[in-house]
Structure 1
């Protein structure tokens, strides 16, 4: 290469190195946090769980619907082919779990109840926050997720990571990011077995900032 072209080539390489990478689907460019917490939500999605049973790792994949109000949470779990596996109703007084062909079972603690009947723990009280991108950290402070602040360890020992997002920011100015995939993991302790969850939420209409 002629000497007089060397500075030009070096400049081109420097500019190409500084070029912004293409936008990756599911990772919104917005640094905005998720919307404020709502008592009433209606969601659906898919849940994969890995847990221990008889000291051996087991896994299951279910579809679910989630209906939440200030005083009640209703969860329905479906098999991949659409049959109902269980329904769970949680109020401040009790949790009731029903399975086809079996009498309803109730307990004050839904985590313990689901672990006993399903084989794995479904942390409904935590999910009321997590599905919206909120949690209480192990420092007792309120955590609000964003694409740039996407992980936290909760006060009850769950490690959460917001892996991907749905926000519509490429088409809706001011759109607020909403969780798309959430990974949650808890180590074994004297009170509970180890379990990890992968939650993928179905798309919902984009929320626009006020």
Structure 2
């Protein structure tokens, strides 16, 4: 799946998939500087990332997923990510700048807001997505993976980029494979492009981070 159709996808396709897209793309996080690792390893990440107080990012997503009817769908759009402490607010937009959903996640609760609908609330993001879509995503893990670091909640296999030992090439954790395809050019830092895949239930996510 390529990013070339991001700005050219027909409006009708977004209307058909808008509600499902809203929750599926709650995974669209942003990258920051990588924690150096050395070769393939199995380890736990340090908890330092969770103590950082503020992150704000913008980017584009392309996702292939299976809906509740067993149909494979593709969707594209943009996202804005705001993190204050442990609270994340993610705004999902279609390529025309229209809001698809706003997802708010904190240790105490999670809320999904869709235009012209009442907000839906649950104790956490996984429960919310499971209840509304029939599947859930490891949002807390993705917060770390998209910062090019394993989540501190479980053991993970990491592979260092052979061309640059200070950067990760891959993380395998909790049934997900996270591939780091590009990093920002100096003087900028952080992840520029990454792919996330999961086999069961199947989900493929491609992200390009603009900042």
Q: TM-score range by the shorter chain?
A: 0.5 to 0.7
Tell me how far 1:116 sits from its aligned partner. Answer: 5.0
Q: Kindly tell me: are residues 138 and 95 of structure 1, through their superposed partners in 2, closer, same or farther at Cα, counting changes over 3 Å?
A: closer
1:97 aligns with 2:112: yes
Q: Kindly tell me: are residues 56 and 113 of structure 1, through their superposed partners in 2, closer, same or farther at Cα, counting changes over 3 Å?
A: same
1:152 aligns with 2:171: yes
SS at match of 1:33: coil
Q: Which of 43, 47, 54 matches 1:40? A: 54
Tell me how far 1:114 sits from its aligned partner. Answer: 3.3
Structure 1 stretches lacking a partner, 5+ long: 1-30, 204-210
Q: Which of 184, 191, 209 matches 1:179? A: 191
Q: Kindly tell me: are residues 137 and 92 of structure 1, through their superposed partners in 2, closer, same or farther at Cα, counting changes over 3 Å?
A: closer
For 1:150 and 1:136, the matched residues in 2 are separated by: 16
Q: Which of 111, 118, 135 matches 2:150? A: 135
Give the RMSD, CA atoms, in angstroms. 3.0
For 2:175 and 2:152, the matched residues in 1 are separated by: 9
For 1:197 and 1:115, the matched residues in 2 are separated by: 18
- The TM-score, its normalising length taken from structure 1, stands at 0.66
Structure 1 residues 95-119: Cα deviation after superposition (integer angstroms, max 9, x where no partner): 1000000000011231342355468
| 8 Å Cα contact 2:35-2:149 kept in structure 1 | no
For 2:179 and 2:88, the matched residues in 1 are separated by: 23
For 1:142 and 1:40, the matched residues in 2 are separated by: 27
How many residue pairs were aligned? Answer: 161
Tell me how far 1:78 sits from its aligned partner. Answer: 0.3
Tell me how far 1:197 sits from its aligned partner. Answer: 0.7
| 8 Å Cα contact 1:164-1:180 kept in structure 2 | yes
- The TM-score, its normalising length taken from structure 2, stands at 0.65
SS at match of 1:163: strand
Larger RCO (CA within 8 A; separation ≥ 6): 2
Structure 2 stretches lacking a partner, 5+ long: 1-33, 38-47
What is the match of residue 93 of structure 2? Answer: 78
Structure 1 residues 170-200: Cα deviation after superposition (integer angstroms, max 9, x where no partner): xx4xx7x410111101111xxxx21111111
For 2:60 and 2:95, the matched residues in 1 are separated by: 9
Larger Rg: 1
Structure 1 residues 56-94: Cα deviation after superposition (integer angstroms, max 9, x where no partner): 211111210011122200000001100001001111011
| 8 Å Cα contact 1:137-1:152 kept in structure 2 | no
SS at match of 2:86: coil
Q: Kindly tell me: are residues 145 and 44 of structure 1, through their superposed partners in 2, closer, same or farther at Cα, counting changes over 3 Å?
A: farther
